[in-house]
Structure 1
Amino acid sequence: MIYKTKAREDAFLVLYQWDIRGGSIEELIEEYLSMNRVKNSEQRRYMRKLIRTYFEHAGDIDKTISDNLENWDFDRLGYVERAILRLAIAELLYAKVKNPKVVIKDYMNITNKYAGSKPSKFVNGIISKILSAG
């Protein structure tokens, strides 16, 4: 479902902006949707679901990520890596995902696009570690 792939990137861009700017997540969502003219209602709905899922479980998700970083501090993560990990873990652990491999591939593609291959390997390693522990 291509709309989910696009929604993941949309959710990433909103969460990334929120992490940098702060403020109301709802206002950032509305600003993003209007600026980017996201018309597909399924895409919009899924993007909101991903962001909502993260915020509903933010404390647990951030702790899970932090607990799985070796010799690394959560606050030292780059904005891209932190946003990707938050959304990926939210979706993989708290949403009813039918095909985790597709979800992981989408997030790796987003990481490659916005941060490059080295951060993508790092993010993939953290996601794999968390999933294998769960």
Structure 2
Amino acid sequence: MPEPTPIKFTSTSERKHPPSFQRPKVKDETTARVARIREMAKTLTRNEICEREGIALAPLKAIASKHAIKFQVPQKIGTAPNKVPPDVEARLVYQIKDCVAGGMNRSQCCNALAISYNMLDRIVRDHKIDYPKLKSAFR
């Protein structure tokens, strides 16, 4: 009786990416691109590398997965909540004063200006606009 062949166990990484069957010229181009991406990954984010290399995000992620490349995490731009540019805020102050003169309550003003109640409250506070809140109804 013939001896059974032993089962060869492969690691996940070997099964995930099969061997490359590229022509030598294409393989050289791919190797050069991987080297460029690896160098850029030290200082740039994925989106910035996509713009410079002229490729979409999915192929870049595939290259990074295959070659174990880690990218920089983009820095979050800290913006205060409910902040708008000064010119927009000046226009909103003027419109809020029109709402006060028109007899609208705060909720109606928010809907008319398409802003959140928190933004309205902050603008009223910052610019010291006399805009009374609704008094709670007698229950």
TM-score, normalised to structure 2, is: 0.24
TM-score, normalised relative to structure 1: 0.25
The structure where helix makes up a greater share of residues is: 1
